[in-house]
Amino acid sequence: MSRLALRIFVTIFLTLLAIGLGAIAITSWYIEQRTARSAIELTTGSEDAAEALAAGGRAGLIDWARRQQADKKSLLIFLVIDEWGEELLDRPIPRVPSPSDAEQLNNMTSRANGEPSAASSIVTLDLPTGMPILSGADGQRYLLMTIPRDGRRGVFGLPSTRFSLLALALLLTAAASYWLAGSITRPIIDLKRTAEALSFGKLEARVAHASLQRRDELGELAYTFDRMAARLGAALQAKEQLLRDVSHELRSPLTRMRLATALLRKRMDAPAELDRLEIDIARLDELIEDILSISRLQAEPSSLRKEPIDLRHLLERIATDAQFEAKEKGCRIAWENSETPCMLILDTQWTSAAIENVVRNAIRYTQKESTVSIELEQSAREACVTVCDAGPGVPENQLAQIFEPFYRIERDRGRTSGGTGLGLAIAARVLAAHGGRIEAQNRLGAEPGLMIRMWWPKTQA
């Protein structure tokens, strides 16, 4: 049996054991209390019956029997049986469990056709057993038989002892279930939070120490997951460091190539070839700058220069600039400026770069004569910028991967159809550095395409 299964078994077994022992203890205590109280009620009730018989005779005893039956607080009901075996209130007489009590009842009721005993001037009470005998002043004798009162109910209509047992069982079961559920789910929730942090690029996220200290399968899982997170973080950091080092190393030869190109242009008459060379150098320079931007965002997210900005005005400027690029592609930009301010604390430069990259990506892949829409929605906690195009979309299994550096859809790896594959990656890093998130999904219906939504955390300025 595994340790986790053993933990579940022991918890359930101990809970049931505690419920059983508690039920025995409560039942024993309840029986003792009821027995003691019944004995007291038997004595006091018999004395009250003797006083009623002395004061009012048979009629007084009948009135007392009615009052006693109506008393819902007592544990016992007194049946008053005369020497002819008749109960004074015509109530049924149950069978008595004790042989001695049965013999006493038979002795009392054996004079079915006999005569009353000799009259006496006083009323006597004989209390030898559980069925006292009253002797009236007229010589008549009455047997007092007690039966437990039926219908003493507690909450939910249950007898008080059963309700106590039910309450104990529910309390112990709830406490054990709560502890067991927390014991199992706490490390799972911890693993989920760590995985979410890693998915948002927080490579320093690790499993909580309490989960690592467990001595069961969940503890082993937490330890394995923590080691995996450490190795993954080290591998990603090594990759980012390699990209930074390579990018820095390429800067110097690119600078020298640009100077050499300028010198060649002065000495040679080959403008077409030099123009081609300068374009390639510019592209390499742009690629290196993008790589360094991603590295800076991941390595130093706190370096952002945040300030209060109205996101509406920023989107309006981006939409206006994008109109020129859209005209060359033969499409349109749809943007409706809202009158409601949308104040956020953001880095203006990086926020603008992230949104521009998403808008340019939409313009690049949308169909001619189509529309690229930009929408702004806001709630109390965040603002959402949505960019929709009318392009071919992205396969469902690749939607999350398009935000990775250099990732390009398999059917679209040609340089002429797309950029370097870093635009959306930069947007994702900018959102993560601001504490936001980005998501892509395909549009369905009459106008297919790709929809990218960016959630920016909202802070009132």
Residue appearing with tokens 């521009």: 356
**What are 29's two structure tokens?**
């205590």
Q: Which of 242, 237, 280 is nearest to 261 (CA)?
A: 280
Question: Residue 101's pLDDT is what?
Answer: 63
Q: Which of 372, 332, 365, 360 is nearest to 424 (CA)?
A: 360
**End-to-end Cα distance, the chain:** 59
Q: Which helix (H) or strand (E) holds 345?
A: strand 343-347
Distance CA 347, CA 306 (A): 4
Q: Which of 130, 78, 131, 89 is nearest to 108 (CA)?
A: 131
C-alpha separations of 177 from 23, 65, 173, 217 in Å: 19, 51, 6, 19
Question: Residue 160's pLDDT is what?
Answer: 58
What is the number of helices (H) and of strands (E) in the chain?
A: 9, 11
Question: Residue 97's pLDDT is what?
Answer: 63
**What are 113's two structure tokens?**
């056709």
* Tens digit of each residue's pLDDT, the chain (461 residues): 567 677 777 778 788 878 777 777 777 877 788 788 888 888 888 888 888 888 888 888 889 989 988 888 888 888 988 888 888 888 888 876 666 666 666 766 665 444 444 444 455 555 655 788 888 877 788 888 888 876 554 444 445 556 666 777 778 777 877 777 777 778 888 888 888 887 776 777 888 888 888 788 888 888 888 888 888 877 777 766 666 666 666 767 777 777 777 777 776 666 666 676 777 777 777 777 766 676 666 666 666 788 999 999 999 999 998 998 898 888 999 987 777 888 999 988 889 889 998 999 999 889 888 999 999 998 888 999 999 999 888 888 888 888 887 777 755 444 445 556 678 888 888 888 888 999 999 987 767 899 999 999 986 44
pTM of the entire predicted model:
0.48
Helix axes 160-199, 217-267, angle to 10 degrees: 20
C-alpha separations of 134 from 46, 71, 83, 125, 255 in Å: 8, 21, 11, 5, 125
Q: Which helix (H) or strand (E) holds 186?
A: helix 160-199
CB 26 within 8 A of CB 161: yes
Percent helix, strand, coil in the chain, to 5, is 60, 15, 25
What domains can be seen in the chain, in order of their start residue? Answer: 3-152 (3.30.450), 306-457 (3.30.565.10)
Distance CA 303, CA 297 (A): 8
CB 345 within 8 A of CB 459: yes
Distance CA 341, CA 57 (A): 96
Q: Which residues of 272-301 are buried (b: 16+ CB within 10 A; e: fewer)?
A: eeeeebeeebeeebebbebbebbbbbbeeb
Tell me if residue 440 falls in helix, strand or coil: strand
Distance CA 311, CA 317 (A): 10
Decide: residue 145, CB within 10 A, 0-12 exposed, 13-18 middle, 19+ buried.
Answer: buried
